[in-house]
Amino acid sequence: MIHRTVTPRSPRVIASVVLLLVSLAALTTLCVTLRIPMADTLVYRAEGAAVVGGTDLYGFTVTEWHLPATYPPFAAILFVPTTWLPIPLLKVAFIAGNVALLALLVHLSFRFAGIRARPWLPLAATALGIWLEPVFQTLLFGQINLALACLVLWDLSRPEGAVGKGFALGIAAGIKLTPGFFVVYLLITGRIRTAVTAIASFIGTVLLGVLVLPGASVDFWTRRMFETSRVGKAWIVDNQSLQGLVARVLHTEEPGLLWAVPAVAVALLGLWLARRAHRAGHPQWGLLTAAFTALLISPISWSHHWVWCVPLAALLLAERRLCLAAFVVALFTARTHWILPHDGDLDLHYPWWQQPLASPYPLLGLAVLAYVGVRTRRRRVTLPSQRTHPGLPNPARPADRDHARNSSPSGGTSRPKAGGV
């Protein structure tokens, strides 16, 4: 008779699989019951259709919110395959694809943080990560934030000198301009080769757009990229950038220099801290500082752009900052900005005590910069991968090395914002 040995970890794996299945079932039930419109997916499909049909890429609007295209022509070319599927099947594909991308982001985040996790931990993290507000909104809008984060995190966490490092970053910047901020981070940290590769890759996306869509390319690069109003209203609670915070605090739709001056200061501070973190032997914190600085200074950072909360929580977990990691997860799950009344222009009339609830992510972003400032006052410390952690394998043990490797149920907005942003 063959006796099967059951390891002590098996119950955790089973529990994690069950948790993931329950989480996916709950997500599916919400999507079907509420008939989630996935507005951004429809914008992407319309962009692909404009490429195929030769119509004006930046002249249309779709959905009941009249959403326009806002990405460079290269992105529209990549969206052509979305026209090959009927809309119901396309929505299913986007939901399934984003769940898979979340699992990939969890894996990349653990590797980035130096966590050599047993199988149960990434399974559980994926199951719970679905309900992080930025991830959840990405799923419901049918967004591409998880794909962009995976491209950047995979590329920049590879070893220095890796073949083609920077190429994926350039592709991400070609799809959506904001990842280009990481090129500045590479330059100030002396990684010229990677930065040049990213710039060359980005230029390649621009040239491909010019080749396939010459008219749309001229239109975008000379006019549309400067039309911030196409993206959406900066003052609404959906916008979790520094500009959104300032606009709501000052009760004004156009904060102007009252936002621009602090934004420049935060950009310079963030880059300086990222450079100091990198030079002090904390490259993980350098990369995250650049990511959160970009989210802060962008004129508009919708709440679903903040999927970088996943690697942030992973890095805090790896460094055994358990309370801070739990706080980050709780903050990005709480949805305080959706709890507040936000119909019409109510966003501009919050009293002082509601302001922190209306802008949790930019406040967290500023707190991350402050934390990195304190964290990097000391020189290199023990790397996360050299530490042990309750529930995580000890990387020093050979046995453990085998295991290395705008309407929504969340209370989200139903007001118009540009799709594909």
Percent of the chain's residues with pLDDT above 90:
76
pLDDT tens figures, 7-48? 555 888 899 999 999 999 999 999 988 888 899 999 999 999
Percent of the chain's residues with pLDDT above 70:
87
421, HSE (Cβ side, Cα atoms, 13 Å): 27
3-class SS of residue 62: strand
Amino acid at 125: A
3-class SS of residue 352: helix
pLDDT tens figures, 319-357? 999 999 999 999 999 999 999 998 888 999 999 999 999
Where residue 414 falls among pLDDT bands split at 50, 70, 90? very low
3-class SS of residue 301: coil
Tallying the residues shown for the chain, one arrives at 421
pLDDT at 417: 55
pLDDT above 60: residue 418: no
Kindly report the pTM of this predicted structure. Answer: 0.88
pLDDT above 50: residue 388: no
- Distance between CA atoms of 24 and 123, rounded to whole angstroms? 12
The pLDDT of 195-202, averaged and rounded, is 98
Amino acid at 37: P
Which of 13-17, 151-155, 386-390, 414-418 is predicted with the least confidence, judged by mean pLDDT? Answer: 386-390
pLDDT tens figures, 262-276? 999 999 999 999 999
3-class SS of residue 142: coil
Residue whose structure tokens are 């209306």: 358
Mean pLDDT, the chain, rounded, equals 88
The pLDDT of 235-246, averaged and rounded, is 96
pLDDT tens figures, 134-188? 999 999 999 999 999 999 999 999 998 899 999 999 999 999 999 999 999 999 9
* Burial environment of residue 348 by CB neighbours within 10 A (0 to 12, 13 to 18, 19 or more): middle
Amino acid at 417: K
- Distance between CA atoms of 198 and 421, rounded to whole angstroms? 21
pLDDT at 119: 85
Count of CB atoms within 10 A of residue 46's CB?
Answer: 24
pLDDT above 90: residue 104: yes
| Chain-centre distance for alpha carbon 47 | 22
Where residue 409 falls among pLDDT bands split at 50, 70, 90? very low
